[in-house]
Amino acid sequence: MKILITGGAGFIGSNLTRRLLKEKHVVTVIDDLSTGSMENIKDFKENKHFHFELGSILDIDILEKVIKPVDLVFHLAAAVGVEYIINNPLKSIEINVQGTENVLKLSHKYKKKVILASTSEVYGKNGNDTLSENDDRILGSTTISRWSYSNTKALDEFLALAYYHEKKLPVVIFRLFNTTGPGQVGDYGMVVPRFVKQALLEKPLTVYGSGDQTRCFTHIYDVINALLPLMTNEKCLGEIFNIGNPQEVSINALAEAVMRKADSSSQIIRHSYDEVMGKNFEDMKRRVPNIDKIKKFTGWSPTLSLDNIIDDVIKYNKETLRF
């Protein structure tokens, strides 16, 4: 297939590109390099089945040029990461709403299937034992800019579903829970690469809040394996899928595991949310995916554990000295 990946120079997009090229697809990436990098896609530059377009999904002309010739669009370009969203509130809303609208509008014009990246942030503060696709969204006040990410991505989902139902545009939506692994950078609030970098540099590991909050992490390789069947499985059209690993860990336990595995003698220091994120910040205690639906539709389930993730991120950072 000829596939367009918006945001393909980012962490997930570049891993997806690698895999799709390996599977003999022709891949075009459009990316404005705001949080992605040429470094992520340098391995493919010589591949004749790979094309890179430097540009923004806010630019209709460029977007039209790259959507027109492909068969399918993976829409991953977005303002991402809690810290990034808080620091760039206006830009984030514009990219995540207007950008997605552009992608859907043009995909409809040229009749292209769209596979849309959403996020577990849409569940907000819902702390259910496990979160299923139809569960309620529980959000805080609009004065807390963190929740704008949740809302922009939820609006993307509404838009995509509206295009599916009203215009018969073939769409599939996936909600990623924390995805991490080799190649991710810690600059925008991603905790695993940040802890690994701090541990390897023998600097204090900075835990935000009490550290009792729990999270679930999915290895990027598992995520890519989950995305492939969504391209071709007709039953998935018009559906939303959680993609995540239900293995739950507290941030304190994560910090300790990283230090142990990195053989680091760093300390853990705690910062209040106020110090790091400013006054108007709210966090959720836990967020655990229910992945029964994707398992049922595609047979996918994660195969790599948190230990695998930490080992791989440490190995990657040692090899590339990318910190």
Question: What amino acid positions are annotated as catalytic residues?
Answer: 149
Which range of residues in 75-83, 161-169, 198-206, 257-265 is near ligand NAD by CB under 6 A? 75-83
- Cβ proximity to ligand NAD, 35 vs 317, nearer residue: 35
Extended strands (E) in the chain: 2-6, 26-31, 50-54, 72-75, 113-119, 171-176, 179-180, 205-208, 214-216, 218-219, 240-243, 248-250, 268-271
- Cβ proximity to ligand NAD, 35 vs 266, nearer residue: 35
CA distance 206 to 118: 28
The answer to whether residue 114 forms part of the interface with ligand NAD (CB under 6 A) is no
The answer to whether residue 102 forms part of the interface with ligand NAD (CB under 6 A) is no
The answer to whether the beta carbons of residues 73 and 103 sit under 8 Å apart is yes
Per-position x/- string for 168-187, each x denoting binding to ligand NAD as judged by CB under 6 A, each - no binding: --------x-xx--------
The answer to whether residue 226 forms part of the interface with ligand NAD (CB under 6 A) is no
Residue 208: how many CA atoms within 13 Å on its side-chain side? 21
Among 3, 9, 207, 277, binds ligand NAD (CB under 6 A): 9
CA distance 210 to 288: 19
Residues between 22 and 51 that touch ligand NAD (CB under 6 A): 30-36
Binding-site size for ligand NAD (CB under 6 A) equals 28
Contacts of 268 (CB under 8 A, 6+ apart): 204, 205, 207, 211, 252, 255, 256, 259
Cα–Cα–Cα angle for 90, 271, 150, rounded to 5 degrees:
30
Beta bridge partners of 115: 74, 172
Residue 59 beta carbon to ligand NAD: minimum distance, rounded to whole angstroms:
8
Which range of residues in 6-14, 65-73, 124-132, 253-261 is near ligand NAD by CB under 6 A? 6-14
Residues of this chain that bind ligand NAD (CB under 6 A): 6-7, 9-13, 30-36, 56-58, 76-78, 80, 95, 99, 117, 119, 176, 178-179
